A and B are shown apart, each in its own frame.
Chain A
Amino acid sequence: NAGVMQNPRHLVRRRGQEARLRCSPMKGHSHVYWYRQLPEEGLKFMVYLQKENIIDESGMPKERFSAEFPKEGPSILRIQQVVRGDSAAYFCASSEDSNIQYFGAGTRLSVL
Chain B
Amino acid sequence: AQRVTQPEKLLSVFKGAPVELKCNYSYSGSPELFWYVQYSRQRLQLLLRHISRESIKGFTADLNKGETSFHLKKPFAQEEDSAMYYCALGFGYQNSGGGADGLTFGKGTHLIIQP
Contact = CB atoms under 8 A, between A and B. Distances in A.
A42 B99 contact: no
B96 interface: yes
A76 B7 CA distance: 34
B100 A40 contact: no
Contact of A48 (B4, B6, B99, B108): B99
Given A100-B46, A104-B43, A95 B99 contact: yes
Contacts of A35: 102-103, 105
Interface residues of A, number: 33
A107 to B, nearest CB: 12
A8 interface: no
A42 B43 contact: no
Contact of A50 (B6, B43, B97, B101): B97
Interface of B: 4, 6, 32, 36, 43-46, 49, 86, 90, 92-93, 95-108
Given A42-B108, A95-B99, 19 more contacts: A4-B43, A41-B107, A43-B86, A43-B103, A43-B105, A45-B103, A48-B95, A48-B99, A50-B98, A55-B96, A56-B95, A56-B97, A58-B102, A97-B98, A99-B92, A99-B100, A102-B45, A103-B36, A104-B43
